[in-house]
Structure 1
């Protein structure tokens, strides 16, 4: 497998694929990034809104994906930006490659031909880097996206150490991880997060970690120990 990192402005991708496509991937990243950046320049509310927005029918594909995922999850469109980039670049690579993993700030798109393990980082929780998902080829393509109220620079209004969402849409998984994470507050935070997850159509399942507690809902890949 070829392994490389690609960075353009505020987006950094880690890519694993079976072919050397680095230059083509970089061009594709820049293409979508510039479309999004130009759209935001004309529509600054798209960047700032914490609520779903209605967009024009002729908006760029990246904008449409972000807006649709945000609407389904009930959050602002930028909540899905990292997962949307992973999805777009992942599908671009799949035109020329059978195996692809794209990671963008903890949001992962993967299509694989052999079993893989994806670990979960959850800050100072006892579960951090000790559990993960065993992903079988037939379960992919798949989006695996994680949001945290205690780790990282992304905005979360909740108190989770990690909320990991599984969906066929990496864009939706990202938006949903934020939406669910925002609900994880207080003693019954995990239960509140799961109730939110039940309301989002299109996600397969969620794994929530808050301090020394963990909750799961839906159809998840096999959860295993990674140590």
Structure 2
């Protein structure tokens, strides 16, 4: 899911239900928001880390925006970026993710920023959840159930994926052809990708979503996603149908929309 920038196996682990912008229920982690221009983060950590989180966002954005000023086409290309030369780490991760998924690098920006901020905040504690426009990076002791927001689909916020736990870092990124402002050439209500990289999961969600024009395309879209290196699990929601593949546990979630 993109953020706009200026152009120049085993038994199920315990989990806590989470929904879009309400990721954790209970008092174990403290929630706070950090907003810097287009970047709008919901963060959960052991304590309020608003100040260091903001510094991380500013630093990552500064590097990305400087690169875009030097390479204006980077912000608008829909194809993998092949321009040589030095680049900030965030930009390199976006370029690699776009190349792996066959999409433009900006398709990876929200997931890449979520991971960069999350990993930076791990210097202050061993648990963190960062949500950026529906793209999530988390590292938690116990497994978490992330609800899938799928717009008008009857399955929206009624199913979720169980991820994380055991201190393992994981990204859960979602793209939609019917919800939000992000560019998609498909019509899936939600495409959720699970993997170790926020940038890759974000780019892959866009790439898989582009394959879905109707519910009849779910099998083909799953096959496409399986071929993207680094994708560990996939869930696609189209209307009242859902398809999934890989190392992903899909569960029902008793939750009201809104």
TM (norm. structure 2) is 0.85
Match of 1:169 in 2: 197
Deviating 4+ runs (over 4 angstroms):
none
**Residue aligned with 2:210, SS:** helix
Give the aligned CA root-mean-square deviation in angstroms.
1.2
Alignment of 1:25-40 (within 5 A): 25-40=53-68
Could you tell me how far apart the structure 1 residues matched to 2:192 and 2:106 are? 18
The alignment status of 1:215 with 2:251, answered yes or no, reads no
Report which stretch shifted further, 133-142 or 56-65. 133-142
Match of 1:134 in 2: 162
Could you tell me how far apart the structure 1 residues matched to 2:240 and 2:48 are? 42
Partner deviation per Cα, 1:173-222 (whole Å, 9 max, x = no partner): 000000000001135211121121121011101000101111011111x2
The alignment status of 1:53 with 2:81, answered yes or no, reads yes
Partner deviation per Cα, 1:115-157 (whole Å, 9 max, x = no partner): 3221011111111111112235137310000000011110100
Match of 1:155 in 2: 183
Alignment of 1:1-227 (within 5 A): 1-138=29-166, 140-220=168-248, 222-227=249-254
Could you tell me how far apart the structure 2 residues matched to 1:15 and 1:36 are? 21
In structure 2, the CA distance between the partners of 1:164 and 1:187, relative to structure 1 (3 Å rule), is closer
8 A Cα contact 1:55 1:67, kept in partner: no
Could you tell me how far apart the structure 1 residues matched to 2:189 and 2:167 are? 26
Q: Which runs of 5+ in 1 are unaligned?
A: none
In structure 2, the CA distance between the partners of 1:22 and 1:187, relative to structure 1 (3 Å rule), is closer
TM (norm. structure 1) is 0.96
Higher RCO, 1 or 2 (CA under 8 Å, sep at least 6)? 2
